[in-house]
């Protein structure tokens, strides 16, 4: 019969970033032992380029957050750790921004409902009303605020900020939201907003990249999920996927294939982020799969 202590155990995830120095792993492991914790998963990486150390741990421990934090506090102070502690599998409060394309939004909402994505989506916010029925099908509130000029764009972004506060949002996902965010909003959401775009950029810009790609006879199409920054489509990359195509594919088929890749890539990036597997190292990401 399992012990009472085991029944009360909590599975924690601890991620840390700091300057790479000797003794970090020993120190953090010792602190976890002091908290009566058992390390069930451990991944680490030392960057020769930046001299920084990255680590992700999963720990089973029958302790409160307060006791866990107290146990690692001396290590945090000694090594100057940036750290995050959370419960494994806790759904991340996520705001979805959308326009008219349904594929990415549908995949996120479906996988949330199916329990395949550790997020909780309290709102889909769009600059068009066309996805209202889709959100309603999944029982997710939907708001549409048209963006037609500078004033309406400012109003939309003000609603984003308001929604982030109102719903305790931890992640904002641009699920084919086809408006450029202001530098001010990008700064406010730094490190917690993810965008998706087709990997044709910058070669095929504009409204019909797949038609352009067909005309040029591309052999690979794909998608890139990245953090949002004020530099358009140049934020740190989280995930990329490609699929091989040939001359027999029509523009419509390229669109369908590309949308599948966009959905798959964005959902994977969101999943990794929600599981605390994505750590920032300057202009790139460290992904603990």
Spans of all domains in the chain: 4-87, 92-287
pLDDT for the residue 2 = 39
57 strand-pairing partners: 14, 42
Q: Are 54 and 44 in contact (CB under 8 A)?
A: yes
DSSP assignment string, 94-143: EEEEE-S--HHHHHHHHHHHTT-S-EEEEEEEESSSTTHHHHHHTT--EE
Q: Please, which residues have CB within 8 angstroms of residue 78's CB and are 6 or more apart in sequence?
A: 27
Give backbone dihedrals phi and psi of 216, rounded to 5 degrees, phi first. -95, -5
Enumerate the active-site residues: 233
Report whether pLDDT(206) > 80. Answer: no
pLDDT for the residue 4 = 39
pLDDT for the residue 202 = 54
31: left (phi over 0), alpha (psi -120 to 50) or beta: alpha
Per-residue pLDDT tens over the stretch 118-138: 999 999 999 999 999 999 999
Q: How far apart are CA 287 and CA 289, in angstroms?
A: 6
Task: Give pTM, 2 decimals.
Answer: 0.92
Name the least confident of 39-53, 103-117, 230-244. 230-244
Of the candidate CATH numbers 3.40.50.720, 1.50.10.10, 3.30.420.40, 3.30.70.260, the domain formed by 4-87 belongs to: 3.30.70.260
Equal CATH topology for 4-87 and 92-287: no
Stretch 212-217: mean pLDDT: 84
For the chain, give the number of residues.
289
CATH top class, domain 92-287: alpha beta
Q: How far apart are CA 229 and CA 193, in angstroms?
A: 9
pLDDT for the residue 287 = 98
On the CB side of 58, CA atoms within 13 Å amount to: 12
SS3 content of the chain, % helix, strand, coil (to 5): 35, 30, 35
């Amino acid at each position: 019969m399992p012990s009472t202590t085991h029944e009360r155990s909590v599975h924690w995830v601890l991620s840390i970033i700091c300057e790479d120095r000797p003794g970090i792993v020993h120190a953090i492991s010792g602190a976890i032992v002091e908290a009566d914790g058992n390390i069930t998963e451990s991944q680490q990486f030392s960057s020769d380029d930046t001299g920084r150390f990255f680590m992700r741990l999963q720990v089973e421990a029958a302790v409160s957050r307060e006791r866990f934090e107290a146990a690692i506090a001396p290590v945090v102070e000694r090594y100057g750790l940036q750290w995050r502690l959370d419960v494994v599998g806790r759904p991340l409060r996520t705001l979805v921004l959308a326009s008219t394309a349904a594929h990415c939004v549908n995949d996120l909402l479906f996988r949330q409902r199916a329990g395949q994505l550790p997020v909780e989506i309290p709102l889909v916010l769009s600059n068009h009303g066309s996805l209202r029925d889709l959100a309603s099908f999944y029982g997710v509130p939907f708001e549409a605020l048209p963006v037609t000029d500078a004033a309406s764009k400012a109003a939309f972004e003000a609603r984003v900020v308001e929604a982030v506060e109102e719903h305790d949002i931890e992640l904002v996902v641009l699920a084919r939201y086809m408006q450029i965010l202001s530098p001010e909003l990008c700064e406010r959401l730094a490190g917690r907003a993810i965008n998706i775009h087709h990997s044709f950029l910058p070669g095929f810009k504009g409204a019909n990249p797949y038609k352009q790609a067909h005309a040029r006879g591309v052999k690979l199409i794909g998608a890139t999920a990245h953090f949002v920054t004020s530099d358009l489509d140049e934020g740190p990359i989280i995930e990329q996927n490609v699929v091989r195509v040939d001359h027999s594919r029509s523009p419509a088929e390229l669109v369908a294939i590309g949308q599948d890749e966009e959905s798959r890539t964005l959902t994977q990036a969101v999943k990794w982020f929600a599981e605390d597997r994505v750590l920032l190292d300057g202009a790139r990401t460290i992904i603990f799969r």
